């Protein structure tokens, strides 16, 4: 079987979609499935082309047995609504010739991830003409998110783009996404339920595990032995509502044993650093190496997971899986009826949920967790059990492999 993966993000990117598509492609190649990928050069979350890569020319490389074709890409240094759109358009245009080059290879399945949805028309047309199966996987509802987050405005434009989006989604043999609420949204957009598949984000539960002792990062960062470490780790973009982290840190300035460690990169980091100016208990680090991820996430006594209210059920934070696997409690901002709120407070019972964009409520909840180590341990243990039960990478990817084979053999995936 041959599968062609089309996505803008791909390893060596360490976070978000690139991380998951990389692990998925490795799994498929190891399973003996001939796998190719079309992607952009790595740029995320720094919004800067990585060293040793070019945004101006086509290149090819092999990563863990996967042939990767890189398309030129325009990357704005300061992404805004229009600039993000042009950024995605540039990939759609430059990746198209790479797609045509795969005609003679004749993939059995073409798998494309949204964002960017703008690549979907070419993928659907190519698959139909080549009689390949087509699979659209939705990590973010980028059209809805762009309007709800205020990046793009206009009711008429939104209605028109919504109709185009629904029409495109219905052109694919399979549409998958990462949560129940996001599946329901796809059905509301007109996708036949028989074509919908749940394909959640996963975690390597052997690679990230609760630590038996203190994280080595504590000594490396010079943290006191009695410090309670509150951590945010991941992309620092505009969907996270990161400004609340600075407000919460200021409200806990009278708790000298509480240390905030914010790790990550992205377009919102500079603003967050500015908001935290003058707070000695706050420190910033870059993204940490994958091989140290267990120690890094195990540094936390409490994980912070902010999300803007207007991003609810448009995206599901991928960083949650690692938090759960680390065996540490989560303090999230979400309404209880949203997917994130339900998972944290009820399904996994791994933490506390407070209203979005309410720093006072978040600070109060954090004070309670700081004062109650037994509760933190219990919540963290629940999160770990949920990760083992529901988010095991090997289980999820083995099911995906079986669904691919069923799609090729019978014309539809297994439920």
103, 10: one domain: yes
**Does residue 415 lie in a domain region?**
no
> How does pLDDT run across 297-325, given as a tens digit for each residue?
999 999 999 988 766 656 678 889 999 99
Please report the pLDDT score of residue 311 as a whole number.
65
273 shares its domain with 196: no
Co-location of 110 and 68 in the same domain = yes
**73, 124: one domain:** yes
Say yes or no: 285 and 320 in one domain. yes
325 and 402 within one domain? no
Average of per-residue pLDDT across 361-376? 97
Assigned domain for 248 exists: yes
CATH number, position 52: 3.40.50.2000
DSSP for 208-267, written as a single string = S---SS--HHHHHTT--TT-EEEEEES--STTS-THHHHHHHHHTTT-TTEEEEEE--ST
Q: How far apart are CA 35 and CA 65, in angstroms?
A: 8
Is the same domain home to 71 and 182? yes
Does one domain contain both 90 and 20? yes
78 and 158 in a single domain? The answer is: yes
Domain count, the chain: 2
Each residue's pLDDT tens digit, 123-181: 999 999 999 999 999 998 888 877 877 777 888 888 888 899 999 999 999 999 998 88
Rounded-to-integer distance, Cα 245 and Cα 121, Å: 39
Instruction: Kindly state whether residues 103 and 249 are assigned to the same domain.
Output: no
Q: Tell me if 49 is assigned to some domain.
A: yes
Q: Is residue 263 part of a domain?
A: yes
Instruction: Specify if 21 maps to a domain.
Output: yes
d(CA 302, CA 196): 35
Long-range contacts: 395-399, Cβ < 8 Å, 24+? 395/202, 396/199, 396/200, 396/202, 397/23, 397/24, 397/27, 397/202
The pLDDT value recorded for residue 244 is 94
Q: What digits encode the pLDDT tens for the residues 217-267?
A: 999 999 999 999 999 998 887 666 899 999 999 999 999 999 999 999 888
Residue 208 lies in a domain: no
Together in a domain, 359 and 277: yes
Q: What is the pLDDT of residue 313?
A: 58
Residues 228 and 97 in one domain: no
Q: Residues of 327-363 as b/e, b for ≥16 C-beta within 10 angstroms?
A: bbbbbbbbbeebbbbbbbbeebebbbbbebbebebbb
Structural contact between residues 6 and 99, judged by C-beta atoms closer than 8 angstroms: yes
**How do 59-63 and 66-70 pair as beta strands?**
antiparallel
CA distance 41 to 236: 20
Q: Would you say residue 210 lies in a domain?
A: no
- Average pLDDT over the chain, rounded to whole? 92
Instruction: Give the separation between CA 339 and CA 190, rounded to whole angstroms.
Output: 21
Structural domain containing residue 104: 2-202+392-410
pLDDT digits (tens, 9 = 90+) for 334-355: 988 888 899 999 999 999 999 9
Q: What percentage of the chain has pLDDT greater than the value 90?
A: 78
**80 in any annotated domain:** yes
Q: Which of the four pLDDT bands, split at 50, 70 and 90, describes residue 22? A: very high
- The pLDDT confidence band at residue 415, using thresholds 50, 70 and 90, is low
**H or E segment and range at residue 158:** helix 155-169
């Amino acid at each position: 079987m041959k599968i062609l993966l089309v996505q803008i993000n791909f390893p060596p990117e360490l976070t978000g979609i690139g991380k998951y598509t990389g692990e998925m492609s490795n799994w498929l190649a190891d399973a003996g499935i001939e796998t190719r990928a079309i992607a952009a050069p790595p740029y995320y979350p720094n919004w800067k082309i990585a060293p040793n890569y070019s945004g101006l020319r086509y290149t090819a490389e092999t990563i863990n047995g996967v042939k990767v074709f890189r398309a030129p890409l325009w990357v704005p240094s300061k992404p805004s609504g229009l600039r993000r759109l042009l950024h995605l358009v540039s990939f759609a245009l430059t990746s198209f010739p790479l797609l045509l080059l795969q005609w003679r290879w004749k993939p059995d399945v073409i798998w494309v991830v949204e964002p960017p949805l703008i690549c979907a028309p070419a993928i659907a047309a190519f698959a139909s003409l080549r009689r390949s199966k087509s699979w659209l996987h939705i990590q973010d509802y980028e059209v809805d998110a762009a309007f709800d987050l205020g990046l793009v405005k206009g009711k008429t434009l939104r209605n028109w783009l919504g109709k185009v989006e629904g029409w495109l989604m219905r052109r694919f043999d399979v549409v998958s996404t990462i949560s129940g609420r996001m599946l329901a949204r796809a059905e509301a957009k007109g996708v036949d339920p028989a074509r919908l598949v749940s394909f959640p984000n996963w975690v390597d539960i052997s690679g990230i595990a609760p630590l038996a002792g203190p994280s080595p990062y504590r000594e490396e960062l010079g943290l006191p032995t009695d410090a309670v470490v509150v951590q945010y780790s991941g992309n620092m973009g505009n969907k996270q509502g990161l400004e609340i982290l600075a407000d919460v840190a200021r409200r806990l300035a009278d708790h000298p044993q509480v240390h905030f460690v914010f790790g990550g990169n992205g377009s919102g980091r500079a603003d967050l650093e500015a908001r935290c100016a003058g707070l000695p208990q706050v420190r910033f680090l870059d993204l940490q190496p994958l091989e140290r991820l267990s120690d890094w996430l195990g540094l936390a006594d409490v994980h912070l997971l902010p999300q803007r209210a207007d991003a609810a059920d448009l995206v599901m934070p991928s960083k949650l899986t690692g938090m759960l696997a680390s065996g540490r409690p989560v303090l999230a901002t979400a309404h209880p009826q949203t997917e994130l709120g339900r998972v944290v407070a009820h399904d996994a019972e791994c933490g506390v949920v407070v209203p979005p964009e309410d720093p006072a409520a978040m600070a109060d909840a954090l004070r309670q967790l700081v004062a109650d180590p037994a509760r933190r341990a219990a919540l963290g243990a629940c999160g770990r059990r949920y990760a083992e039960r529901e988010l095991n990478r090997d289980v999820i990817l083995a099911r995906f492999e079986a669904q691919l084979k069923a799609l090729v053999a019978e014309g539809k995936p297994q439920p």
